[in-house]
Structure 1
Amino acid sequence: MDFSIKACDWSKGAQSGFLTGKSDCVVIGVFESQSLSGAALAIDEATKGLVTRIVKAGDMEGKAGSTLFLHEVQGIGASRVLLVGLGKQDAFTQKAYGEAVKAAWRAILGTKIVQVTFTLAQLPVKERSSDWAVRAAILALRSETYRFTQLKSKPDTTPRALKRIVFSVDSADEKAAKVAAKQGAALANGMDLTRDLGNLPGNVCTPTYLGNVAKKLAKDWKLKVEVLGQKQIEALKMGSFLSVTRGSVEPPQFIVLQYQGAGAKEAPVVLVGKGITFDTGGISLKPGEAMDEMKYDMCGAGSVLGTMRAVAEMGLKLNVVALVPTCENMPAGNATKPGDIVTSMSGTTIEVLNTDAEGRLILCDALTYAERFKPAAVVDVATLTGACIIALGHHNAGLFSKDDALAGELLDASREADDPAWRMPLDDEYQDQLKSNFADVANIGGRPAGSVTAACFLSRFTQAYPWAHLDIAGVAWKSGAAKGATGRPVPLLTQFLIDRAGQ
């Protein structure tokens, strides 16, 4: 799809070119119990009161989420007008805007409309600007058009009719809106990659497959890549990582993907993604119900790779390194057993009390490896604990960090990107739950505060740099009829990096 921006002062009506230019459809918003304004008023005047008559007749009352097509409209260049109900103007928040945009796209995608003039980005959304509204509209459209059908015997290859969208914005917002359109498309591409990787089954999306995806990203976007195999991982003495992969016939991979958008001497931001391509729980075997969803246990890795794609397409002026330890967690005669003690890359010995707490075992070695980059900050992303779902449900990701400045940056990014996160505690008192009689640390701390103790475990390997942990177990995918990867937290991570780059 092609997205473009055009400045428009609707008080000048036809002079803007929007009303006389050819288009299949112009989208305008109507508030409930409010006088027409902006684009709606301009089109009403150009059509000699048509919109007013429709509203007075009760065909469009402005109820939130309602839509109405007007066909063969006289007086404007567009052959159709789509009226979108916005609800009460004093309650037109970010959420209300999102609902209006989704309603508009759903109505349009049900037709053969090819080119759209979209005016909703100029609506007065509380505490939001037109450039934010443009990007949000692009992401909403791409979310509505995403389909994962490539593994069906008859995949849906029908092309979408919609090809071009022109956003109208105020003249003062034109430059920022053009940047937002570029970023929105890049972010959507990154999210689609993350969704695809998550939705692929474990027999396709193996550690080797993820490594090949990283290599393709490097080739397409001129990134630097290394994909380390079993022997190289052994040479690094990543004993904790290797303990997880012992029961699998699939070889582990350690992916190092680097984007350089700034000077070589500028410290990079390092993103670490958990890449368990299928998690049976190992010897601590999971129940069979919904175990198929454990193909999503690599969504941390998928989100990191998706973010790297978005950052590269945006051309952000900063350095970013992605580290992805990836393997399967399988039961076998040679698999790690509860009670086994392993030695991490840092030299810390770990008593593995539960082999289903494997994500932290691969991440801790990757976090130690991150030290060699002398990073400005490290953020790890993982579908780490079911306990985080119990604590926060499926709306907020769990954010853990002792660095208030870094945590603040991530929370600000989550709000700007509409990709919510909630800061969780990381007090030293929780560390006591990880005590082991036989090793330096145990890999679990019991049922109380399970997501906190998991983060506490990781924190022991992050003393050399500012660090934050995102537990995305509740937000990386949906179950039930809407089953599928969400693409989160690519928006949060990308916005964090946009802010860091000052772009």
Structure 2
Amino acid sequence: MSTALAVFIVQQEFSDAAWKKSAAVIMGEKGATIYVGSDEAENLRKVQKAGRQLDSLGVSKVKLAGDDWDFERQWAFANGYTDTRSTNSIEFAGDAQTLTSMRELVNWSRELTNLPPADIYPESLAKRVSEKLEAIAPEHVSSRVISGDELLDEGWVGIHTVGRASKHKPCMLIVDYNPSQQDSAPVDAVLVGKGITFDSGGYSIKSSEGMLAMKCDMGGAATVAGALGLAIQQGLQKRVQLVLCCAENLIDGTAYKLGDVITYKNGTTVEVVNTDAEGRLVLADGLQYAGEVNAKLVLDAATLTGAAQMAVGNEYNALFSVDDELANKALATAAQQRENLWRLPLNRWHKENTPSAFADCANSRPQKGGGAAGASNAAGFLLRFAPNEGKGWLHFDIAGAYQNNANAMWATGATALGVRTIAALLND
């Protein structure tokens, strides 16, 4: 059995040792040392980079040693010291049980996103999520899957339309976490996740390069599933439902086409002008479900637009809401949880920014990326379906949920950025 590498943190100003400021981690006889300064935000970045560096060096077991490891520093290190193909182990310096259980759950959320699309398709995603959440709280969790043509029977036409061309049936997963076990208990919150397990773009087909990472298009589903699991682990006492809108966006003779018009359960008609703007079509069903159960709080998460990623980069998620008080609360919560979140514009008139001559609206603009303000226009489309005209609703366009290539902070693949923030909002 290999010996764990001891990793120390040393607080030191850098005026006389500039090399310590620039290097993430210094190897020595006693182990590895991370030198940090007075800026704690920068310290956390450096600690995460140190974890990334040690993983890249092939170090498989570490022990966080010394007295300078608080919770956030340990979590930052764990984020960097995680690779989708490794089985690294960490002996934490404190809060070991909490950190270990949180790391296991977050890594499960990452794994969902990173698994190949042959393993994660709509019904297998629903099965993995329901089994995981039922295992966390078996007495308080129940689940239901609406699959294939059953979706049409219940009016969930968006999911069915997007997924009907795949041999894998589209489905809606509904998980009900009800700690009171009373059927009459009000639903405090509904989490809605985009579960596009593979996105070819449909007839608006992606390039090979653009399609390569599209197993990650169910990252929203993985994020909200992980958030609910974490919130339950943290002692959630409210009734929360999880709705995953799952489909593969593929092409065959039955696939939906440009110019098709979808009539939703609430009567809204939508012209399809881009089959690669499919995420909002399935999320519309989930948002309508949230309205049917009268949820006080509705949060959706989706790898929805490249425009959001262009705006905030890969280290932030983008937030949209017309509820200013709730949006400010979400931003403050994200800051407390040390997760990067940035609010982008959304006004009620954004609903009109995807017009159609043939329907109430289109699902996008017939321009690359949806044209100017593409992420806001996508959020405006969702606002048409959000309960209570958007009061109590948050939309997370999770630009930072997946890294196409490894960098100094993250391994290639899913990051699970947003899981902590959403879990904390549920437990507030």
Flag whether TM exceeds 0.5 (same fold): yes
Is it true that 1:32 corresponds to 2:10 in the alignment? no
Is it true that 1:274 corresponds to 2:194 in the alignment? yes
In structure 2, C-alpha distance between the alignment counterparts of 1:232 and 1:276, rounded to whole Å: 18
Number of aligned pairs?
Answer: 409
Cα separation, partners in 2 of 1:249 and 1:402, compared to 1, 3 Å: same
1:12-51 mapped onto 2 (5 Å cutoff): 25=6, 27-32=8-13
In structure 2, C-alpha distance between the alignment counterparts of 1:420 and 1:356, rounded to whole Å: 27
Report the secondary structure of 2:208's partner residue.
Answer: coil
Q: CA deviation at 1:294?
A: 1.0
Report the secondary structure of 1:256's partner residue.
Answer: strand
Alignment check: 8 A CA contact 1:27 1:82 kept: yes
Is it true that 1:206 corresponds to 2:121 in the alignment? yes
Cα separation, partners in 2 of 1:100 and 1:146, compared to 1, 3 Å: closer
Alignment check: 8 A CA contact 2:133 2:229 kept: no
In structure 2, C-alpha distance between the alignment counterparts of 1:93 and 1:442, rounded to whole Å: 46
Letter in 2 for 1:243: T
Q: Among residues 462, 470, 473, which one is paired with 2:396 in the alignment?
A: 470
In structure 1, C-alpha distance between the alignment counterparts of 2:425 and 2:225, rounded to whole Å: 15
In structure 1, C-alpha distance between the alignment counterparts of 2:58 and 2:207, rounded to whole Å: 41
Deviation string, structure 1 residues 207-266 (Cα, Å, up to 9, x no partner):
111111123114312121111112331111122221111221110111111223468535
Q: TM-score scaled to structure 1, two decimals? A: 0.74
Q: Where does the alignment leave 5 or more consecutive residues of structure 2 unmatched?
A: none
Alignment check: 8 A CA contact 2:317 2:341 kept: yes
Q: CA RMSD in A?
A: 2.8
Q: Which residue of 2 aligns with 1:93?
A: 40
Q: Which residue of 2 aligns with 1:138?
A: 74
Letter in 1 for 2:82: Y
Alignment check: 8 A CA contact 1:61 1:85 kept: no
- What is the percentage of aligned positions where both structures have the same residue? 31
Q: Which residue of 2 aligns with 1:147?
A: 83
Letter in 2 for 1:349: T
Cα separation, partners in 2 of 1:142 and 1:61, compared to 1, 3 Å: closer
Q: Which residue of 2 aligns with 1:449?
A: 373
Q: CA deviation at 1:352?
A: 0.9
Cα separation, partners in 2 of 1:330 and 1:449, compared to 1, 3 Å: same
Q: Among residues 408, 413, 425, which one is paired with 1:484 in the alignment?
A: 413
In structure 1, C-alpha distance between the alignment counterparts of 2:111 and 2:7, rounded to whole Å: 32
Alignment check: 8 A CA contact 1:245 1:252 kept: yes
Alignment check: 8 A CA contact 2:187 2:241 kept: no
Q: Which residue of 1 aligns with 2:68?
A: 120
Report the secondary structure of 1:166's partner residue.
Answer: coil
Cα separation, partners in 2 of 1:247 and 1:119, compared to 1, 3 Å: same
Cα separation, partners in 2 of 1:244 and 1:81, compared to 1, 3 Å: closer
Q: Which residue of 2 aligns with 1:63?
A: 21
Q: Which residue of 1 aligns with 2:265?
A: 345
Q: Which residue of 2 aligns with 1:289?
A: 209
Is it true that 1:219 corresponds to 2:167 in the alignment? no
Cα separation, partners in 2 of 1:247 and 1:66, compared to 1, 3 Å: closer
In structure 1, C-alpha distance between the alignment counterparts of 2:162 and 2:79, rounded to whole Å: 35
**Which has the higher mean CA deviation after the structures are superposed, 487-496 or 359-368?**
487-496
In structure 1, C-alpha distance between the alignment counterparts of 2:58 and 2:168, rounded to whole Å: 43
Q: TM-score scaled to structure 2, two decimals? A: 0.86
Q: CA deviation at 1:354?
A: 1.2
Cα separation, partners in 2 of 1:66 and 1:234, compared to 1, 3 Å: closer
Higher RCO (C-alpha under 8 Å, 6+ residues apart): 2
Cα separation, partners in 2 of 1:279 and 1:269, compared to 1, 3 Å: same
Cα separation, partners in 2 of 1:225 and 1:345, compared to 1, 3 Å: same
Cα separation, partners in 2 of 1:383 and 1:104, compared to 1, 3 Å: closer
Cα separation, partners in 2 of 1:25 and 1:383, compared to 1, 3 Å: closer
Cα separation, partners in 2 of 1:100 and 1:289, compared to 1, 3 Å: closer
**Which has the higher mean CA deviation after the structures are superposed, 224-233 or 329-338?**
224-233
In structure 2, C-alpha distance between the alignment counterparts of 1:382 and 1:303, rounded to whole Å: 9
Letter in 1 for 2:68: L
Q: Which residue of 2 aligns with 1:494?
A: 423
Deviation string, structure 1 residues 342-388 (Cα, Å, up to 9, x no partner):
11122211111111111111110111011232212101101111111
Report the secondary structure of 1:258's partner residue.
Answer: strand
- When Rg is computed on C-alpha atoms for both structures, the one with the higher figure is 1
Q: Among residues 157, 160, 165, which one is paired with 2:92 in the alignment?
A: 165
Is it true that 1:460 corresponds to 2:384 in the alignment? yes
Q: Where does the alignment leave 5 or more consecutive residues of structure 1 unmatched?
A: 1-22, 35-54, 72-79, 122-132, 150-155, 168-177
Cα separation, partners in 2 of 1:291 and 1:263, compared to 1, 3 Å: same
Report the secondary structure of 2:314's partner residue.
Answer: coil
Report the secondary structure of 2:149's partner residue.
Answer: helix
Alignment check: 8 A CA contact 2:350 2:381 kept: no
In structure 1, C-alpha distance between the alignment counterparts of 2:149 and 2:338, rounded to whole Å: 42
Q: CA deviation at 1:115?
A: 4.8
Alignment check: 8 A CA contact 2:280 2:304 kept: yes
Deviation string, structure 1 residues 162-202 (Cα, Å, up to 9, x no partner):
553333xxxxxxxxxx5xx5544343223211211111111
Report the secondary structure of 2:202's partner residue.
Answer: coil
Letter in 2 for 1:463: P
Q: Which residue of 2 aligns with 1:427?
A: 347
Q: Which residue of 2 aligns with 1:153?
A: none
Q: CA deviation at 1:29?
A: 1.0
Report the secondary structure of 1:334's partner residue.
Answer: coil
Deviation string, structure 1 residues 448-488 (Cα, Å, up to 9, x no partner):
2111111011001113351111111x211111355311112
Cα separation, partners in 2 of 1:431 and 1:372, compared to 1, 3 Å: closer
Cα separation, partners in 2 of 1:102 and 1:226, compared to 1, 3 Å: same
